[in-house]
Amino acid sequence: MTGTAKPAVRPADPRFSSGPTKKRPGWSTDALKDATLGRSHRAKPGKAKLKEAIDRTRAILGVPDTHKIAIVPASDTGAVEMAMWSMLGARPVDIFAWESFGEEWVTDAKQLKLDAKVHGAGYGALPKLELARKDADIIFTQNGTTSGVRVPNFDWIAADREGITINDATSAVFAQAIDWSKCDVTTFSWQKVLGGEAAHGMLILSPRAIARLESFTPDRPIPKIFRLTKKGKVDLEIFEGSTINTPSLLATEDYIDALKWAEALGGLAALQARADANTKVLADWAAKTAWIDFLAIDPATRSNTSVCLKVVDPRVAALSEDAQAEFAKKLASLLEKEGVAFDAASYRSAPPGLRIWCGATIDASDVAALTPWIEWAFATLVAELETKAA
């Protein structure tokens, strides 16, 4: 290592992981003291907790009363796949995929033998959203967690569409606006913007999605954990807290605590403002730092939660692809070794760089304290490169 001086101030909390994310400020296990433990989730107290989680979700997100909300198994992945297995096949499908999780829905579509057209783009860019067909179903990821690229708006979805839309909103919800009139299926998980515990998914259905469930029967077996209907009708009990499988009431209590914090903070607008403020710290820093840039090519598509950064310094760009990847890996490792940023490496299949979570549970002061440490780590590693080249 070189003699580059280390910054004097450290982030108060170094947890910048993109999922599971940092707990809300001030969180402790005391937040779980009212959890309904040792009781059936179908008993009145357990069911009441699940219903409370659903109701508080509706209130914070402003979900219309016409939409149904359910807690489902297997995180956001389970929620998306539940919708795909139960609803798709009635029409052609447009899949918009530009990062690793969107590509998973492409794989599912192939396995389900859907009549699907894939609209792809490389990391940092969006596909041509205007290619969405009015008579097709649509699957898209609102915020690419592994690319740091989000859809800028919902104007590209036709108001008079004939198909349904499935919005994988897991790292967008609570931090970005959602047009409920354009989203028939919206999914997310607890471990993203509000820092809840993993393994539980949320499924929000519009009247159009419910109509699809009741009018279309797929020609495939539906696993029990994906079944949303009984005798041709939507099972409404699922949307009142009667979950398909056994949920964790401890994790449910933690999610309720996060929702209470969000409400006390000022609701959805306050959550979005915190994420925007965190991202602005990185944007202002990147604007004056020549060797770093956003992976998202268009500023209008930059994520305000999973912020992905790339090293653009010519000395690093001159290295082989493997050496560039190793440089980025060392950069993240050095930050972790110093205890200033945990889990800040880019996703394993994404271009090498850093991924800094800027969701609502992160404090802007911690992001501001982190940037000098990134500069220090970069300078340290570049000095090593120059020493080896000498």
The DSSP string of 373-384 is HHHHHHHHHHHH
- DSSP for 28-46 reads -GGGGTT---SS-TTSHHH
pLDDT above 90 (res 390): no
Average model confidence (pLDDT) across the chain: 97
Architecture label for domain 29-264: 3-Layer(aba) Sandwich (3.40)
- Of all residues in the chain, the percent with pLDDT exceeding 90 is 98
Q: What is the CATH number of domain 267-389?
A: 3.90.1150.10
CA terminus-to-terminus distance, the chain = 16
Of 275, 369, 352, 357, whose CA–CA distance to 313 is shortest?
A: 352
CA 282 to chain centre: 19
Looking at the DSSP bridge assignments, the partners of residue 385 are none
* Residue limits of CATH 3.90.1150.10 in the chain: 267-389
Q: Three-state SS for 325?
A: helix
Side chain identity at 146, as an amino acid letter?
Answer: T
pLDDT at 14: 98
> In the structure, what pLDDT confidence band is assigned to residue 151 with cuts at 50, 70 and 90?
very high
* Residue limits of CATH 3.40.640.10 in the chain: 29-264
How far is the C-alpha of 70 from the C-alpha of 86, rounded, in Å?
Answer: 15
Q: What is the pLDDT of residues 34-54, one digit of tens each?
A: 999 999 999 999 999 999 999
Q: What angle do CA 73, 74, 77 make, to 5 degrees?
A: 125
pLDDT above 60 (res 269): yes
Looking at the DSSP bridge assignments, the partners of residue 97 are 120
How far is the C-alpha of 224 from the C-alpha of 105, rounded, in Å?
Answer: 20
pLDDT above 70 (res 135): yes
> In the structure, what pLDDT confidence band is assigned to residue 1 with cuts at 50, 70 and 90?
very low
> In the structure, what pLDDT confidence band is assigned to residue 183 with cuts at 50, 70 and 90?
very high
Of 348, 345, 347, 307, whose CA–CA distance to 328 is shortest?
A: 345
pLDDT above 80 (res 220): yes
How far is the C-alpha of 19 from the C-alpha of 361, rounded, in Å?
Answer: 12
Global pTM value = 0.97
